[in-house]
Amino acid sequence: MSTRQPLSAHRVVIKVGTSTLVYPDGAINLRAIDQLAFVVSAMRHRGRQVVLVSSGAIGVGLNYMGAHQRPKAIPEQQAIAAIGQTELISIYKERFATYEQKVGQVLLTRDIFTYPKSHRNVLNTFESLLHQNVVPIVNENDTVAVDELDHETKFGDNDQLSAIVATNIDADLLIMLSDIDGFYTGNPQATTSAKLLSHIATIDEHTYDLAGGSGSRFGTGGMVTKLKAAERMLAANGQMILANGADPTIIFKILAGDSVGTLFG
């Protein structure tokens, strides 16, 4: 395997998607959560500051309630998220405790970063947690986040949330774990000629074209949101790596400089 330079990032944000935490049949992937807790704890014990941005509240909530389909009504979705977030943080707390690592929950809405006083307060919270060697576990506060006229509270997706958190706390590196190996020249599920790009230094319209759509404010989900996150990190002089999170111990390879996933920066 080809290598990059080992990444010396001191402050790291790790974003993990629902596909890593929940099996396709809706069951919770306890093995992946345990591996994630092990890796993050090992990073902490080696002196790195780590923030974990975790999706999965609704998926875990559906499993907890024995439901098989995501409800369509917003209040029902928010109720499931409230149930799932409680269960998810309980699982995280248990698994991290195995590795003698303390965690704290931080639930955010986008307007927190808009209003100066709340912005300052949440940054102070992050700094205090990190300096106490606590791993903040972050998610959007789905129970209250809505889109209202002149009062936007939703981040849109956790790709954007992770990049906003990373740039606001001056993280050196954002590691985004997804269900794809990295950024390809095309859709690898649709064409065998699609090639994995190991390194992307700049993001332009051509990059968005490869992602299957232009970078507009209407783009949601998929690769476009990941490019937007990478663009935000590059603008803040940070780096982002997109990699497959099926086995969270891939983070060790990323930090060691192994050429896995796609490095933006």
pLDDT by 10s per residue, the chain, length 265 = 556 777 789 999 999 988 899 998 899 999 999 999 999 999 999 999 999 999 999 899 999 999 988 888 888 988 999 999 999 999 999 999 999 999 999 999 888 888 899 999 999 999 999 999 999 999 988 777 655 434 455 666 889 999 999 999 999 999 999 988 999 988 777 778 889 999 999 999 888 888 874 433 323 357 888 999 999 999 999 999 999 999 999 999 999 999 999 999 8
Q: Is 162 annotated as a binding residue?
A: no
| 3-state SS class at 260 | coil
Cβ contact 62:80 at 8 Å: yes
For residue 161, the surrounding DSSP H or E stretch is: helix 158-168
Q: How far, in Å, CA of 17 to CA of 39, rounded?
A: 16
Residue 233 counted as an annotated binding residue: no
On whether 245 is known to bind a ligand per the annotation, the reply is no
Is 253 annotated to bind a ligand? Reply is no
- From residue 138, how far is each of 1, 92, 160, 166, 207 by CA, in Å? 33, 12, 12, 11, 29
| Residue 247, helix vs strand vs coil | coil
Q: Which CATH superfamily is domain 11-264 in?
A: Acetylglutamate kinase-like (3.40.1160.10)
The annotation status of 125 as a binding-site residue, yes or no, is: no
Do 55 and 84 form a contact (C-beta atoms < 8 A)? Answer: no
Q: Global pTM?
A: 0.90
Q: Would you say 178 is a known binding-site residue?
A: yes
142 is in an annotated binding site: yes
Q: What is the pLDDT of residue 216?
A: 32
CA distances from 91 to 34, 69, 86, 188, 256 (A): 9, 22, 9, 34, 28
Whether 15 has a binding-site annotation, put simply, is yes
Q: Is 122 marked as binding a ligand?
A: no
User: Is 221 labeled as ligand-binding?
Assistant: yes
